[in-house]
Amino acid sequence: MTKKEKVSFVMEELDRLYPEIPIPLDHKDPYTLLIAVLLSAQSTDVRVNQITPLLCKKADTPQQMIKLSVEQIRDIIKPVGLSPMKSKGIYGLSHILINEHQGKVPKSFEALEALPAVGHKTASVVMSQAFGVPAFPVDTHIHRLMYRWGLSNGKSVVQTERDAKRLFPKNKWNELHLQIIWYGREYCPARGWNVQNDIITSTIGRKSVIKKQIKS
């Protein structure tokens, strides 16, 4: 299969499997999404969705968050891991949002990535899911699948993001990155992967082999 054929097949299958795409992290507005995404680093969405409501019950706006101490935030979010760094990040970014952005989450990659503990992936998720701006946040599932599907070389998430944006239509980025994440969790996990259950990977592999045999 050519890359163009692979891209078309992937989009068709993902649309068939996931016509409706749930958002993995529970939130009610851009600020609570930003907090949830920050908490999700090296944690699971299930755990984050358990902890975010506990934190938001105490503070779900930047104005309320800065009334808590870093230690109080850390005690609440401990179960998600990396709590020392994350608690300082949440406290610090809440101050910056109040002082520099009228208490609102900014709608630009540059402003988001300037916030404490917010990297490119976090900014991309917020821009995509909170504001509907085309973005392609690459997590471990997307990085793994783009490589297995022969759509990227797997050397870095930076390159994987570039390849995804180059190959897939821009108006599909926001839904596709979520579809690929759900597909990776359900059909193509990092551990215990069974290629027979992985419809897309096995089909791409089979058709690619057939095409090579025809050429030879």
Closest CA to 29 of 5, 60, 57: 60
DSSP state for residue 154 in the 8-state scheme: S
- 88, 139, 172, 207: which is the annotated catalytic residue? 139
Alpha-carbon span 160 to 139, nearest angstrom: 10
Alpha-carbon radius of gyration of the chain: 19
* Widest Cα–Cα separation across the chain: 70
**Active site annotation includes 28:** no
Is residue 32 within 8 Å of 74, Cβ to Cβ? no
Phi then psi for residue 211, to 5 deg, are -65, -40
**Active site annotation includes 215:** no
- 86, 121, 163, 198: which is the annotated catalytic residue? 121
Catalytic sites, residue numbers:
121, 139
